[in-house]
């Protein structure tokens, strides 16, 4: 029972992370394409400035839960996915540094350098997280000694790349909606247009991915065994369609909430389809790591659950307050502040 609870929490935490840091990735990827001046670029920086580091706490939490609740899965995952995870780490570092360094020198070439770093530091994790999760859904080629039988190109298979493109599309739409919330004038209009256009691309990729998943994975097996579980992908589809309607109605906060539901339930769709597997082997299914054969002891899981119940509510309240405090648009007053980017 505890293993199942932590498995679901593991999936939920990853979903929350992608929901929150997803719009940061989206903004970073959109920066070269929707901005026309340094001021508009600063609006994008400041649209994510008060939130991005708090959002990444959920990434640390996801990694921590994997390490503490499922240590064997953690060890094998970080071994077999070493190269893409290291690339993600370096990209996240570059992205973080770009916030602090961009305005240190009043030079256009200097600013352009860090704008490029922000784009690369946003696109790389978005793509590789999708590639990693798609490969997990498909199965990772590791043997009985947990040695990865492949390289980075092995992970860049058609299904893995499609998963990466899906994540990029999800985050682009999510970020465009957030930019529409935080901006006004012509930048707001371009953000809305980007969200509308990218949504069509997202819809096409999502449909292709779902069809490809039927043929490339066993994710649908759990759903066919328990038809009630189809409520999860149904919510994903409804929220995705609702997002487009709310963008059209200029209800951007509601559209962002709907997009958030799409991201979280899309991740949970894959996680629930995996269960009880956490890290399946494509070489031999009997070697797959599950929520039961890779978990910590029941006592450890029980203590972790108690700690989570105590620590999580204050953390959520704190982050919710930050979003409430900085819920307004990025205006001249914010841009002229000494604390602005």
Average pLDDT over residues 308-329: 87
Compute the average pLDDT of residues 58-81.
92
Smallest CA-to-CA distance from 182 within 45, 318, 57, 319 is with: 45
| DSSP SS3 for 71 | helix
User: What pLDDT, on a 0 to 100 scale, did the predictor assign at position 286?
Assistant: 86
Average pLDDT over residues 14-31: 95
User: What pLDDT score was predicted for residue 152?
Assistant: 84
- How confident is the model over 49-76, as a mean pLDDT? 90
321-338 pLDDT, tens digit each = 988 888 888 877 777 777
- Residue 285: phi and psi, rounded to 5, are -60, -25
The pLDDT > 90 percentage for the chain reads 74
CB atoms near residue 238 (< 10 Å): 14
Q: What is the mean pLDDT of residues 185-212?
A: 95
- Mean pLDDT for 187-211 is 96
Asked if the peptide bond before residue 276 counts as cis, ω within 30 degrees of 0, the response is yes
pLDDT of residue 326: 85
Look at 210 and 328; give whichever has higher pLDDT: 210
The answer, yes or no, to whether residue 238 has pLDDT greater than 80, is yes
State yes or no: pLDDT of 186 exceeds 80.
yes
How much is the average pLDDT of 71-79?
Answer: 92
Q: Which residue has the higher pLDDT, 51 or 129?
A: 129
Per-residue pLDDT, 21: 93
φ/ψ of residue 289, rounded to 5? -90, 130
Q: What's residue 212's pLDDT?
A: 95
- Residue 277 sits at φ, ψ, to 5 deg, of -65, 145
Cβ atoms < 10 Å from Cβ of 113: 15
Query: 278 near 21, Cβ under 8 Å?
Result: no
The overall average pLDDT reported for the chain is: 92
pLDDT digits (tens, 9 = 90+) for 93-124: 999 999 989 888 888 899 999 999 999 999 99
SS3 sequence of 152-189: HHHHCCHHHHHHHHHHHHHHHHHHHHHHHHHCCHHHHH
Between CA 136 and CA 311 the distance in angstroms is 30
Task: Name which residue leads in pLDDT, 338 or 197.
Answer: 197
């Amino acid at each position: 029972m505890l293993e199942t609870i932590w498995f679901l929490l593991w999936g939920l935490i990853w979903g929350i992370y992608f929901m929150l840091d997803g719009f940061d990735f989206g903004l970073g990827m959109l920066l070269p394409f929707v901005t026309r001046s340094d001021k508009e670029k600063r609006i994008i920086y400041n649209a994510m400035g008060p939130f991005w580091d708090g959002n990444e706490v959920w990434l640390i939490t996801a990694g921590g839960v994997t390490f503490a609740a499922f240590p064997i899965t953690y060890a094998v995952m970080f071994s077999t996915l070493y190269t893409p995870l290291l690339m993600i780490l370096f990209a996240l570092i570059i992205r973080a540094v770009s916030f602090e360094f961009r305005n240190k020198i009043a030079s256009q070439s200097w600013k352009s350098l860090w704008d490029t770093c922000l784009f690369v530091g946003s696109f790389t994790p978005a793509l590789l997280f999708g590639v990693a999760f798609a490969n997990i859904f498909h199965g990772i080629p590791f043997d009985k000694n947990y040695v990865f039988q492949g390289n980075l190109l092995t992970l860049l298979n058609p299904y893995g790349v499609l998963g990466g493109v899906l994540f990029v599309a999800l985050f682009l739409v999510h970020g465009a909606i957030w930019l529409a919330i935080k901006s006004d004038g012509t930048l707001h209009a371009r953000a809305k247009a980007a969200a509308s256009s990218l949504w069509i691309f997202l819809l096409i990729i999502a449909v292709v991915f779902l069809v490809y998943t039927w043929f490339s994975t066993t994710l649908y097996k759990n759903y066919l065994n328990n038809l009630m579980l189809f409520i999860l992908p149904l919510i994903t589809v409804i929220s995705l369609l609702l997002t487009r309607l709310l963008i059209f109605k200029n209800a951007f906060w509601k559209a962002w909430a709907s997009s958030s539901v799409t991201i979280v339930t899309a991740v949970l769709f894959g996680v629930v389809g995996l269960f009880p597997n956490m890290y399946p082997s494509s070489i031999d299914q009997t070697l797959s790591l599950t929520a039961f054969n890779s978990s910590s002891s029941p006592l450890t899981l029980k203590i972790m659950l108690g700690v989570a119940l105590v620590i999580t509510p204050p953390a959520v309240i704190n982050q919710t307050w930050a979003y409430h405090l900085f819920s307004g648009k990025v205006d001249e007053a914010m841009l002229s502040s000494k604390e602005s980017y």
